[in-house]
C-alpha cells in the first residue's frame, strides 16, 4: 500500500468511527477551546463568519474530510457555493450524498493535495479558502500556499484552524513528562493507559505519514503568504495528547465527577500555558490575500 493509500484508508476509518479528535469530543473541552479561539461563548465557525469574514459567494475547502464544516457553512448561508475536496473517498461519498439529499450548493470531490497544487484551477475564483485540521497534513506547504494565493481573489480570506505543534506529534521530553505526571495523578477508572507513548517512524509511516508532517512551520509560513487579520493560539499541549490516554466512556459520561475532573484539567492546561511551561499546539487565524 502506498503512503497516499495508507493515509486515505486511515482517515476513512476514523471518519467512519467518528474518532477524528478525542479531546474535542468532550463537550466541556470543546466549549473551552471555542472560547479560547474567539473570546466568546458558542461555536467558533459562527463567530468567524459573523465577526471576521462575512457571507461569501465562492468558498474552497481544502482537506474537508467528511464534510461536517462544509455542510454547516452551506446550511447557514456562510457561502453561496462551496467546493471541497479530500483524499478519503468514502468520506467524500457520504458527504456528497448528504449535500444532494439536502439540496445544498456543495461540490465534493476526491482529490489529493498534490493534485490541487499542480492544477488548482482558475485564478481569483474564490472569496475564501478554508483549512480546518488539514493544513498540518500538507507536506508541500509552500506549494499549497502559493496555489491558494492564485485561486483566491485579492482581499479574499484564508481561514486556518490547525494543529501547529511539534511535527509528527513527537512532543519534547518536558511535555511528555507533564502529560505522564497528569495521567499518574488521575483515578485509575479514568485512564486507558499509564503513560503517553510517542510513535516511532515505522508506526507513523504505517498509519498516517502526513500527521503533523510540517505542522510547526504553519504559524511561520502562512503570514509570509497572507496578511494576518486575526491570530489566536489556543493551547492544547496537555489536553490533546492526554485525552488519547483516557477512558473515553468514563471521562465523557457527563457525571459530576467526570465533569469536575475535566474542568480541573482545562484549568491545569490554562495555567501551564500561561506560565510558559507548555507552548500552544493549536491556532486559529484569518488572513487576507494581498497579492494583486
Q: How far apart are CA 49 and CA 73, in angstroms?
A: 9
Least confident of 5-9, 81-85, 123-127, 233-237: 5-9
Instruction: Mention every residue, 6+ apart, whose C-beta is less than 8 A from residue 283.
Output: 160, 161, 162, 164, 218, 219, 231, 232, 233, 234
Q: Is the pLDDT of residue 12 over 90?
A: no
Find out whether 262 and 251 touch, Cβ atoms under 8 Å: yes
Bridge partners, residue 160, by sequence: 131, 285
Q: What is the pLDDT of residues 57-115, one digit of tens each?
A: 999 999 999 999 999 999 999 999 999 999 999 999 999 999 999 999 999 999 999 99
Instruction: Mention every residue, 6+ apart, whose C-beta is less than 8 A from residue 273.
Output: 235, 237, 238, 279, 280
Report CA dihedral (55, 73, 75, 9) to the nearest 10 degrees: 160
The CATH number for 24's domain is 3.40.50.150
133: containing domain = 3-288
Q: Is the pLDDT of residue 162 over 50?
A: yes
Q: Given pLDDT bands bounded at 50, 70 and 90, which one contains residue 17?
A: very low
Say how many domains are in the chain: 1
**pLDDT at residue 121, rounded to an integer:** 84
Amino acid at each position: 500500500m502506498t503512503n497516499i493509500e495508507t493515509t486515505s484508508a486511515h482517515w476513512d476509518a476514523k471518519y467512519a468511527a467518528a474518532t477524528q479528535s478525542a479531546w474535542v469530543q468532550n463537550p466541556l473541552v470543546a466549549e473551552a477551546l471555542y472560547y479560547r479561539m474567539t473570546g466568546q461563548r458558542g461555536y467558533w465557525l459562527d463567530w468567524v463568519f459573523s465577526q471576521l469574514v462575512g457571507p461569501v459567494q465562492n468558498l474552497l475547502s481544502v482537506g474537508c474530510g467528511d464534510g461536517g464544516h462544509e455542510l454547516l457553512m452551506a446550511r447557514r448561508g456562510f457561502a453561496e457555493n462551496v467546493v471541497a475536496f479530500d483524499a478519503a473517498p468514502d468520506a467524500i461519498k457520504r458527504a456528497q450524498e448528504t449535500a444532494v439529499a439536502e439540496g445544498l450548493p456543495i461540490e465534493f470531490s476526491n482529490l489529493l493535495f498534490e493534485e490541487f497544487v499542480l492544477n488548482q484551477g482558475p485564478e481569483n475564483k474564490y472569496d475564501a479558502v478554508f483549512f480546518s485540521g488539514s493544513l498540518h497534513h500538507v507536506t508541500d506547504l509552500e506549494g499549497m500556499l502559493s496555489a491558494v494565493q492564485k485561486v483566491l481573489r485579492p482581499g479574499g480570506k484564508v481561514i486556518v484552524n490547525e494543529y501547529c505543534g511539534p511535527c509528527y506529534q513527537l512532543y519534547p521530553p518536558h511535555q511528555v513528562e507533564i502529560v505522564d505526571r497528569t495521567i499518574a495523578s488521575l483515578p485509575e477508572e479514568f485512564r486507558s493507559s499509564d503513560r503517553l507513548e510517542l510513535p516511532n517512524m515505522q508506526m507513523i509511516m504505517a498509519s498516517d505519514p502526513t500527521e503533523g508532517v510540517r505542522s510547526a512551520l504553519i504559524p511561520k509560513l502562512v503570514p509570509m503568504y497572507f496578511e494576518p487579520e486575526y491570530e489566536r493560539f489556543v493551547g492544547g499541549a496537555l489536553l490533546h495528547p492526554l485525552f488519547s490516554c483516557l477512558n473515553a466512556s468514563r471521562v465523557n459520561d457527563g457525571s459530576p465527577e467526570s465533569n469536575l475532573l475535566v474542568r480541573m484539567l482545562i484549568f491545569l492546561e490554562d495555567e501551564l500555558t500561561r506560565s510558559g511551561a507548555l507552548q500552544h499546539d493549536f491556532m486559529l487565524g484569518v488572513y487576507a490575500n494581498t497579492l494583486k
